[in-house]
Amino acid sequence: MTDIAQGSAPRSAPAPSATGRLQRFGTGLFSLSVAFVLFAGWRQRGEEHLTAESGLGYALGIAGAVMMLLLLLYPLRKKFKPLRQWGRVAHWFRIHMLLGILGPLAVLFHANFKLGSLNSNVALFAMLLVVASGLVGRYFYAKIHHGLYGRKATLQELRGDAEVLADAHSTDLGDAPGIFERLQTFETSALSAHRGLFASAWFLLTLGVRVRWVRFGLLRAAASGLRHAARQHNWDSRTRNRRIKGAHRYIRRYLANVRKAAEFSFYERLFGLWHILHLPLFILLVLATIAHVIAVHLY
């Protein structure tokens, strides 16, 4: 967004597609369905409809373990070149997320939502820990991608998003002196490097308040400057209000994209740290599951 005041070729802002809306609807419907199934299973846990040792309960345990092992296909697809030819990464990620939910769900029904022996409890809590870690990773992933299944965003893209409105409103803000300079000063401050992770976290925690405070001051300054210009140039009320509305829209968009750009670097860093932690947790889950299966069938 540097030198936005100078103007640049306008780019079309990406509009939410019908496919994106359909995906969000499908994700919401799936989440509600899983929540309902979990609630129903929890309420029926005392009825003993399923047993882990035989029948459907046993089959659900096997199915859940297999689905969680299949989770390894997604990281393997990224590591081994022959697997990269098999479909798009977004499709693999969808399957990875689906298995990461259905596998633990099957295991919970296998356990009938109850604790058991020591080895089964270790496997169960290891699974729940991996699921919790996966949900955190999903949040970080969405923060640095265009949508949950979209391609990875780049800092340069986020910094350039506000240019979409630059040409359209440069005239409006030209009649409100100092607005562009104050916007760029705030951008420089928000996007400056922060050395430590905790310093960056604290900055982001307070960034929302800073953005609101700066936005409040700039909106008032822009409106005041444009009202003064309206009196000087004898604008009618319609022209004055249109210019104020356009200037306000640009200021909000600019600050929103500065905030996105500042958050991007932080969440990209967290996502990298999460990757380092998630793999050992998954290995722990695999080992605990193997130990549980051996203990069940040998003892």
Note the pLDDT of residue 17: 54
- Determine which of 127-136, 139-148, 215-224 has the lowest per-residue pLDDT on average: 139-148
Distances (CA, A) of 282 to 31, 67, 125, 182, 195: 23, 13, 12, 48, 30
Closest CA to 96 of 145, 137, 57: 137
Residue 13 confidence (pLDDT)? 40
Q: What is d(CA 266, CA 272) in angstroms, rounded to the nearest whole number?
A: 10
Longest dimension (CA), the chain: 92
Q: pLDDT digits over 176-215, tens only?
A: 677 877 887 887 777 776 667 777 778 778 888 988 998 9
Task: Please provide the size of the chain in residues.
Answer: 299
270-286: pLDDT as tens digits: 888 887 888 888 888 88
CA distances from 59 to 2, 56, 66, 106, 152 (A): 59, 5, 11, 9, 38
For the chain, give every domain's residue range.
51-153+274-298, 155-270
CA distance 84 to 86: 5
Percent of the chain at pLDDT > 90 equals 1
15 confidence band (pLDDT: 50, 70, 90)? very low
Q: Is the pLDDT of residue 4 over 50?
A: no
109 closest CA partner among 175, 174, 184, 34: 34
pLDDT of the residue at 10? 35
The string over 118-131, giving b where at least 16 C-beta atoms fall within 10 Å of a residue's C-beta and e elsewhere, is ebbebbbebbeebb
Q: Residues 175, 225: contact at Cβ < 8 Å?
A: yes
- Alpha helices for 88-178 (secondary structure H): 89-110, 118-143, 155-160, 166-174
Of the candidates 154, 141, 143, the one whose C-alpha atom is nearest the C-alpha of residue 263 is 143
Residue 207's contacts (CB-CB under 8 Å, 6 or more residues apart) are 190, 259, 262, 263
Question: What's the pTM value of the predicted model, to 2 decimals?
Answer: 0.60
Instruction: Tell me the pLDDT of the chain averaged across its residues.
Output: 76
Confidence of residue 153 (pLDDT cuts 50, 70, 90): low
**CA separation for the pair 273, 267 (Å, rounded):** 10
Other CB atoms closer than 10 Å to residue 44's CB: what's the count? 14
Q: How far apart are CA 110 and CA 133, in angstroms?
A: 22
Q: CA 186: distance to chain centroid?
A: 25
**Nearest to 122, CA basis, from 299, 11, 298, 285:** 285
> pLDDT at position 194, please?
61
